[in-house]
Structure 1
């Protein structure tokens, strides 16, 4: 009798992020141990005690390998790391990436390209691989919302802010990355659009991709043209609760950086008006 095929459970959302960060930490730790073996462990330890950058790298490697508090959860698919760990990694990686990039540029400036290529060959490409790994960690820990937009499930994400709406209780929970900003009555929330943006009037095509430019300006001759270096228009989620003494309090202000953000903002505006 044939046995039923067992289907392995799918990994929890965010497991890939944890795996990637820990793998980068192990690669950095292996490279660190190899460098200590080449220099000699005693001389390496003496050099580390007098180098703040070495201590900074050790703290970064420890955080990447251990990832204290990291736990993939279904309700936070894009944030398996606690907020303090994400910010700490972002801070340490930014410093180490800037120092590594400065070291590479200084080597090229003082020794020339021929000496740099020779040093690159001696380190098996680590002079470029190291900064690239730091850049990957910086990209993984970038500010982003808790989840991606799912309008059918009443979950919206605009920039680094996430909005969850419960139509039964008429409550809205707002998150900034993985930090909860608050819980509000949906009837007391409204979106304030910029002066130059898509009209607020709901229509049947609110979820269609926007084709108009996100920011325009008018020249003296009357020509309308997209501002290449113009600031991105921002929307505001406002809380108006006279009972609580809050009159047009701004919950968050987020730029409309992409077409997806604009469409999500339109859908959120329509949903709040329908409640």
Structure 2
């Protein structure tokens, strides 16, 4: 029983490859995290290749990268006055890699909470699963685990009285069930929260981005130029001269990184 139930068995065979979660859990804490990590490397590679080739003036490139830029539709002939607010200000592309990193971390959080709870509870769920899988007869494996679980609760009740890791021993089964359901709810809350936070970080209505993008892609057969992920933007900055002279410049910026951003965030929406 100890070999099955001890959470930290330093000398027993490794069981980290066994699954103590289901497909929905793995979709959140593994597949999604791996996908976001791959996107981070794509974004970082795209930034280095696209932005630091030495083809543009160093100062203009640096200040526009730090300050951000704005989208100007191609049909607009004149550049709007500087005193007027920019309708489509683009400032997220500098932070895309960090946004994806934090998203991946929060998708891992429910799994970490579940593993911490089971470790503090003294049960090694992976060893319980291994016990069932090692039995030719699954029903007998389940019976063996149930018996071991019952013996564990009796031992905890004898050693610690009525309380087992913060729960009454009689309700310890319920405690694990509630925690398992709570982790499922956390996955849902995490997904919904990140969905709405992207509205704030990206400075546009991310909720409607998916249907519009899919509709444009299916109708036109190609990706579209939009104020959400523009490939070409404008940047205004001032250069001081001797005395009180101030020279304002409006330069056109090329953002090929948005070709990746558009596909990545459409994939996240889906």
Which structure shows the higher strand fraction? 1
TM-score by length of 1: 0.28
Larger radius of gyration: 2
Q: Which has the higher helix share?
A: 2
When normalised by structure 2's length, the TM-score is: 0.28
